[in-house]
Structure 1
Amino acid sequence: MLNAGSNWFMRVTRRAKNLHLDSKTSIPLKPELKTLPIFQYPISRQNDRRVYVWGLAEHGALGEPRALKKNRISYLSKPKRLSFAEQHRVTDIACGYGFTAYAVHSSNKNIVYGSGINTDSQLGYNLDEKFLNMIFIPKPITLPLQNASTKIIGLAAGRAHLLILTTEGLFTLGNNAYGQCGRPIILNENYEKSTAVHHIPDIKGNKIVAVTAGQDHSVLLTETGGVYTFGWGADGQTGLAHYQNEHRPSLVKGDLAGQRIVKVACAADCVLALSDKGKVYGWGNSEYSQLPIREDNYQVNIATELYTQELGYITDIAAGGCFCMVLNNDGNVFVWGYGILGLGPQVQKVLKPTMIPPTLFGNNVYNRNVKITNIYCGINQLAALTNTGDLYMWGCNRFGSLGLGHVKDQFFPLKVAVGAQVRKVACGVDHTVTLCKPFI
């Protein structure tokens, strides 16, 4: 005889069978799997480059009209991807005082573009531009090229002049009041709406391999390691053993004799040069102890070797408005001079090269392989790039030119949230442009 418990079990069993056997009321044993969409993300090619910009947008140097605001000063305190670079393959960048130049890979003669301040035709003369003194969208800079296969080798921008180094030689544009474009000075020359483009094919038969621009002077590096300068010389920044202006490219005097220089750095009126032996030389303005030499001289007019032997083998150099920076082969960064140097808010002046702790650049017990590979300077901002493509910046943060999301000065190196691996940094007075490689 079945008890109550057995009757309950039989009823439950019959109900379960009915649920599975009745096609109208049956419940599937396994839920049906829905087909999920497959997303195919684009993989970048080896030479793909992106450009990110930040800082003051008011003058158009960022090349992003969407960053402009009505009734208030326009700036970007965080990196923004430049839309122009999505349609053009940008290969190099340079920032001047309120303007930017972009080298592009092109099948025609439009191989360089510019945006920003154009009061002195430093970005060329464009008949189609409504506001000739300010360009908000990158426009092509017309050069008297001989063939369409010409490519850009390097760019450099000063206060109001631009150097464009190509496979056809050097082209210079903009203000030439002090001879910084390498052509004879014309008194009272009007540079607005100027079509003047000067061409320097080589230096005494030697190919020009790199260009650097100070505030109002220019520096050329030849294939033999020689350094030639021209332009404003009142602070000795031309290194020609005098303080006069010079429009002809002339060989720098002093300790560079017999040396093979591989890089020259300058943002204002102090110049650093690096030899293939890891030695550093300097000349120009030293009012803020930018040139730590024995002589008490605030304007050094010949190249003088700096005492950096105890810092190790130097691999990179950078010179700002009132400070300098070097990098050794161990990835250690040294700074000196005056201003916000990255050593804290209490340190405003350093007479001797002083190392910034590597931990501030992400090197720690968990990331011992992280090291700095390149350094950069603007007039008031400093930057360092790691072997992983991370960018650190510090210094004066006028109009958010450090890209940290705010406008407060930064007293220690801080990582910038750029959405790509940074390959090169160009610093203007109040804006910054980076050439990057996509993560994927």
Structure 2
Amino acid sequence: MNPIQKIQQNIIKNGAKYLSTKKIKYPTDPDYVNQLPVFQYGVSKEAYRRVFAWGNAQTGALGIKGLIDKDVIAAWYPKRFTFAELFEVTTAATGFGFTAYAVNSETDVKLHGSGLNTDGQLGYHEVQKDKPLGILFYTQPIYLPFSNPEQSKVIKLAAGRAHLLVLTDEGLFTLGNNAYGQCGRQVVDDEDYSKNHYITKIENIDGKCIVDIECGQDHSLAITEDGSVYSCGWGADGQTGLGHFQNTSEFTKVDGDISKEKIVKISCKSDFVLALNDRGEAFGWGNIEYGQLTLPNEQQQLCNPTFVNKLVKAGKIVSVASGGSFCLAVNECGEVFTWGYGLLGVGPIVQQSREPLKIPEVLFGRNDFQPKSLVTKVVCGLNYAMAVTNSGDLYSWGRNRSCCLGLGHEKDQYFPLKVSLSGHVDDVFCALDHTIAICKPFI
């Protein structure tokens, strides 16, 4: 007997004791079989959403009960937000230390928020004696002066450093700090925003309906139904795009290279703006000291929207994102391009590039098993980025401040890595040090 045969014989001999020779009798009586319980997964409602939050827990922006009580500094992994089990969350916005949620409700409360409220960015709330001033540790309702409260709907939210924009079917509501006119109303000297009950309502701009909104740190942007862009607020770096570097307290039309364009998307997390027209062309303005745009005279502030010619070779663009010092763009083939300064997603060596660099598709899950996987959307925090694929997967990379990447560790991430979420990602909202994701169930 050769050695291989001996090994086989030992396996059979030693494994026999784990094998049963007893025949199992299965029930065959139809009446008995029909009485057996049937376990079957049901299909979730179309409107049902799961909300996950992670990152800095000390500001209250996550709004998850138990984290503050346990003195948890940060949530390393995405945590299920039970608030979404009680309300149908439709969209959200993440500011610097605060979060706002829009809900589908037949009551007069369409908006909720948690986190820092030092400037009334989450509406007026009575100060609790046992809690620090200006912090909502758990999600609280925000009341807006609707004309028809029960029937009104929130369409989109946008959050800056300390102000909030709420786009509804009745118009635009603005809350929070207005020191530079970013709420679209006259600046009041020495205004105490922490005790302010005032909420600005802007029904339209130049007689046109507002269809989209975005916030930089201290300025605001709006797109009207004809594709025009309007802005207000802090303009020292040209981020308002109004041809000057002054502050503006009223939404004013942005011209430059986009004066005759139909803009469909705007992105800004800090003080550089990327805009996308209906033909898939990109335009930019604001602080360009990190190479977001390259001009012949090497200027570092640009106050007029300018065509981004460095993206011409990338083809038709379908999504753009602008962080604090870097930019992202996705073309119609699902290819992701990155440029500027920071952890760009192409490894630890390259942290600065004036020209768009393509991030390999394999890093976003495209391989022989998933040949049709492609990125459909990119979103930026101040110093990190997220990408959503057509299969509902989420990838993150960049500076991992307070575990905002949701990867289960505190280290910075130099290339895209998949975030573990128990749901199909619909949208993701990035801020300074916390992240919110809205997902659909898998079935």
- Give your verdict on TM over 0.5: yes
Is the contact made by 2:290 and 2:340 (CA closer than 8 Å) also made in structure 1? yes
**Residues 68 and 75 of structure 1 are in contact (CA less than 8 Å); yes or no, is this contact kept in structure 2?**
no
By how many angstroms is 1:127 displaced? 3.1
1:423 aligns with 2:411: no
Q: Deviations over 1:14-51 (max 9, x none)?
A: xxxxxxxxxxxxxx986475987543444211121110
Contact 2:288 2:302 in 1 (8 A): yes
1:356 partner letter = I
Q: Distance in 1 between matches of 2:174 and 2:137?
A: 22
Q: Does 1:410 align with 2:413?
A: yes
Asked whether the 8 Å contact 1:293–1:306 carries over to 2, the reply is: no
Match of 1:401 among 396, 399, 404: 404
Structure 2 counterpart of 1:4: none
In the alignment, structure 1 residue 63 sits paired with structure 2 residue 66: no
For 1:246 and 1:383, locate their aligned partners in 2 and report how far apart those are by CA, in whole Å. 31
Aligned-partner residue type, residue 138 of structure 2: I
In structure 1, give the amino acid aligned to 2:73.
S
SS in 1 for 2:193: coil
CA distance in 1, matches of 2:49, 2:96: 24
Q: 2:80 matched to which residue of 1?
A: 81
Q: Residue 360 of structure 1: SS of its match in structure 2? A: helix
Cα displacement string for residues 156-186 of structure 1 (whole angstroms, at most 9, x for unaligned residues): 0000000000011000000000000000001
Partner of 2:195: 193
Identity fraction in percent: 50
- Give 1:229's aligned residue: 231
Give distance in 2, aligned partners of 1:381 and 1:171: 28
Q: Which runs of 5+ in 2 are unaligned?
A: 1-21
Structure 2 residue aligned with 1:279: 281
Q: How does 1:41-120 map to 2 (within 5 A)?
A: 41-68=41-68, 70=70, 74-120=73-119
Provide the residue aligned with 2:348 in structure 1: 345
- Report deviation, 1:137: 1.4
Given that 2:68 and 2:137 are in contact with CA atoms closer than 8 Å, whether structure 1 keeps it comes out as no
The 1:293/1:74 distance shift into structure 2, 3 A limit, reads same
Instruction: Give the Å deviation of 1:194.
Output: 1.2
Superposition TM-score, scaled by structure 2 size: 0.90
Alignment of 1:313-392 (within 5 A): 313-392=316-395
Equivalent position to 1:251, from 247, 250, 253: 253
Q: 1:405 and 1:37, CA in 2 relative to 1: closer, same or farther beyond 3 A?
A: farther
Q: Determine helix, strand or coil for the equivalent of 1:86.
A: helix
TM-score (ref. length: structure 1): 0.91
Instruction: Note the C-alpha offset of 1:128.
Output: 7.4
Whole-angstrom CA distance in 1 between matches of 2:319 and 2:26: 62
Identify the residue that residue 8 of structure 1 maps to in structure 2: none
Q: Hey, what's the Cα distance between the residues in 2 that align with 1:42 and 1:93?
A: 27
Give secondary structure in 2 for the equivalent of 1:65: coil
- Residue 13 of structure 2: aligned partner: none
Which stretch of structure 1 is more off in the superposition, 55-64 or 31-40? 31-40
Separation (CA, whole Å) in 1 of partners of 2:82 and 2:42: 18
Q: SS of the residue aligned with 2:220?
A: strand
> How many angstroms apart in 2 are the aligned matches of 1:57 and 1:141?
21
Aligned equivalents of 1:439 and 1:94: distance in 2?
A: 24
Q: Which has the larger radius of gyration?
A: 1
Q: State the alpha-carbon separation in 2 of the partners of residues 42 and 187 from structure 1.
A: 58
Please give the root-mean-square deviation of Cα atoms over the aligned residues, in Å: 1.6
Partner of 1:13: none
Q: Deviations over 1:184-206 (max 9, x none)?
A: 00111111121010011001110
Distance in 1, matches of 2:61 and 2:404, equals: 12
Contact 2:127 2:134 in 1 (8 A): no
Where 1:192 maps in the other structure, the secondary structure is: helix
Q: Counterpart of 2:312?
A: 309
1:204 aligned partner, one-letter code: D
Q: CA deviation at 1:434?
A: 0.5
- State the distance in 2 between where 1:29 and 1:76 align: 52
The answer for unaligned runs of 5 or more in structure 1 is: 1-27
Task: After superposition, give the CA deviation of every residue in 1:115-158 in whole Å (9 maximum; x if it has no partner).
Answer: 00000010001237554511121111111111120001110000
Match of 2:18 in 1: none
Greater Cα shift, 317-326 or 364-373: 364-373
- The residue that corresponds to 2:3 in the other structure is none
Give 1:345's aligned amino acid.
Answer: P
Once the two structures are superposed, residues 382-411 of structure 1 have per-residue CA deviations (whole angstroms, 9 ceiling, x without a partner) of 010000000000001111100001110000
